[in-house]
Structure 1
Amino acid sequence: MKPPVVLIRGRNAFLVEKFEGELHTHKGIIKLEELKNKKFGDKVKTHLGYEFSIIPFNASKFFQLFKKGPTPVMPKDIGAVIAYTGLQPDSLIFDAGTGSGVVAAYLAYFNKYGEVVTVEKREDFAKIARENFKKAGLKNVHQIIGDAIFVADGFKKEFDLVFLDMKDDVEFLPKAWEILKEAGYCVVYNPYIEQTKAVYEKMKEIGFKEIEAFELVKINLEFKRVGTRPFTEIFHTGYLVFGRKV
């Protein structure tokens, strides 16, 4: 077992990137040297006697443990992108608006034999994303700092998927059509319904087919002695628009 690994207890999780020094938790201190002789599934105790389980650091913990900058796209929405586009593990993907790198990381993880090109205008966001990609050990993400349309102009290859989470998404759609393969998908994420409508109408104008626009809402259940009820900390996250070049 080598770092990075995750230590979990209940809803609390800690990312350990090296097996040296100490980890200070709400349940006490863990000497990280003790992890060197452990394996996944083992437990490690704090100085107060509380146990934490050792698990691998993989996509199930990207969203929770990645460093955040701008508000990231939620896993429920990323999962829909993967499922609705039928993402293949050898795809070429263009991701415009890297942000903290959450979307690019998930797409790269499930695109094991393919490549993800991710573009971000802001250097401070790009730095956060670069650190996250490194933590996750992702080798198939190619990060570019710059304007997405300018960067896309430089590509002669055709992409299987274009994902947009950027301010000028409507303006980018003609370029998305140009760089997509036949039968490739363009997916746009936006938190505002007016902009989502504009994206939908522009996709129709350009000639995209199989266009869908929707919102996914995740509602957790709360179990108490008096009964069970739904609750959610965040009701609205964003809208997704899917279009296919056919």
Structure 2
Amino acid sequence: MSLAAIDFGRLYRDHLAAAKRNPKPASVWDARAAELGRKALKSRYVDEFIGRMDLAGARTLLDVGCGPGTICLPLAGRLERVIGLDFSRGMLDALQENAAGLELDNVEALQLAWEDDWAAVPACDIVVASRSTTVADLEVALHKLNDKAKRRVYLTHLVGGRFIDDAVIEAVGRDLPALPDYIYAVNILHGMGIHPRLDYIASEGRLTGATDFDEFAAHVAWALGELSAAERERLHAWYLRQPAPSLGAPMRWAFISWDKQPD
């Protein structure tokens, strides 16, 4: 079988279904928007993402899955128009609140999901999708990003298919298959005639920064779903055996970029 004969879009969808992971609805992100909005704009991850971008010739930017403006707001002062797209109204409210706090008047908000019709979404010079591409149909999503870009696309996708450490999942006792990771995106893009650039960013893990077990367990529950009493007890026993620095292993993200390609 040749590489061209392999349907990586279908393989991604099959892998996602096998992982049996239910995506969080917009209401869950709405509830966390204020908390995330306060700490989103300054981090090593943001610096490394933006540091890999080329804004030459760019005046406009579309940030898909923008959250509270993690990527687009630090760039807004260097551009004429910035559009943040997200399916969470709470996140878009946080985006606009952060933009007002930074005295930015060139930031717009669009409430849409990946699965929605994007016909009314303006094409922009730069399109970014930061940590937002674990979607139902990655092939469709990548076509949408390329369609809306005039110059360049930048995205990050999970490496390894885990949002938290394997050791924690094992300690809880869950049988949790890994999500499809970045290599699907690379292969789907290859099938689209796009040869992307690839780099990696290490960032703080979702379990980093917990000050006690209750906070740590809350972070685990955010990633895995509600913990049963038995799961919480097993996690606590594991937690007590760990030296503090080991409780916040970094996450790795594949940084994937390409120049606009015609369909």
Give the TM interval when normalised to the shorter protein.
0.5 to 0.7
Report the counterpart of residue 179 of structure 1 in structure 2.
Answer: 148
For the pair 1:236 / 2:205, whether they are aligned, the reply is: no
Q: Deviations over 1:45-71 (max 9, x none)?
A: xxxxxxxxxxxxxxxxxxxxx954278
State the superposition RMSD in angstroms.
3.2
Report the counterpart of residue 129 of structure 2 in structure 1.
Answer: 164
For the pair 1:102 / 2:117, whether they are aligned, the reply is: no
Shift of 1:122: 1.1
Q: 2:47 aligns with which of 79, 100, 106?
A: 79
Task: Please tell me whether the aligned partners of residues 118 and 141 of structure 1 are also in contact (alpha carbons under 8 angstroms).
Answer: yes
Number of aligned residue pairs: give it. 164
Shift of 1:75: 3.8
Report the counterpart of residue 139 of structure 1 in structure 2.
Answer: 105
TM-score, normalization: structure 1? 0.55
Q: 1:127 aligns with which of 93, 113, 131?
A: 93
For the pair 1:215 / 2:201, whether they are aligned, the reply is: yes
Report the counterpart of residue 13 of structure 1 in structure 2.
Answer: none
- Greater helix share, 1 or 2? 2
Task: Please tell me whether the aligned partners of residues 189 and 238 of structure 1 are also in contact (alpha carbons under 8 angstroms).
Answer: no
CA distance in 2, matches of 1:188, 1:141: 20
Shift of 1:85: 3.0
- Greater strand share, 1 or 2? 1
Shift of 1:97: 0.7
CA distance in 2, matches of 1:107, 1:152: 23
Q: 1:199 to 1:96 in 2, by over 3 A?
A: same
Q: 1:203 aligns with which of 181, 186, 189?
A: 189
Task: Please tell me whether the aligned partners of residues 115 and 141 of structure 1 are also in contact (alpha carbons under 8 angstroms).
Answer: yes
Q: Deviations over 1:140-171 (max 9, x none)?
A: 1111112245363214x532211113232723
Q: Which runs of 5+ in 2 are unaligned?
A: 1-32, 161-179, 205-244
Residue type at the aligned position of 2:125? D
Shift of 1:236: 2.0
Q: 1:216 to 1:108 in 2, by over 3 A?
A: same
Task: Please tell me whether the aligned partners of residues 119 and 148 of structure 1 are also in contact (alpha carbons under 8 angstroms).
Answer: no
For the pair 1:93 / 2:79, whether they are aligned, the reply is: no
Task: Please tell me whether the aligned partners of residues 207 and 245 of structure 1 are also in contact (alpha carbons under 8 angstroms).
Answer: no
Task: Please tell me whether the aligned partners of residues 127 and 154 of structure 2 are also in contact (alpha carbons under 8 angstroms).
Answer: yes
Q: Which has the larger radius of gyration?
A: 1
Task: Please tell me whether the aligned partners of residues 196 and 256 of structure 2 are also in contact (alpha carbons under 8 angstroms).
Answer: no
Residue type at the aligned position of 1:117? I
Q: Which runs of 5+ in 1 are unaligned?
A: 1-65, 219-230
Which of 1 and 2 has higher RCO (CA within 8 Å, sep 6+)? 2
Q: Percent identity?
A: 13
Q: 1:161 to 1:238 in 2, by over 3 A?
A: farther
CA distance in 1, matches of 2:74, 2:104: 10
Q: 1:242 to 1:126 in 2, by over 3 A?
A: same
Q: Match of 2:71, SS? A: helix
Shift of 1:110: 3.0
Task: Please tell me whether the aligned partners of residues 84 and 107 of structure 2 are also in contact (alpha carbons under 8 angstroms).
Answer: yes
Q: 1:245 to 1:179 in 2, by over 3 A?
A: same
Residue type at the aligned position of 1:207? G
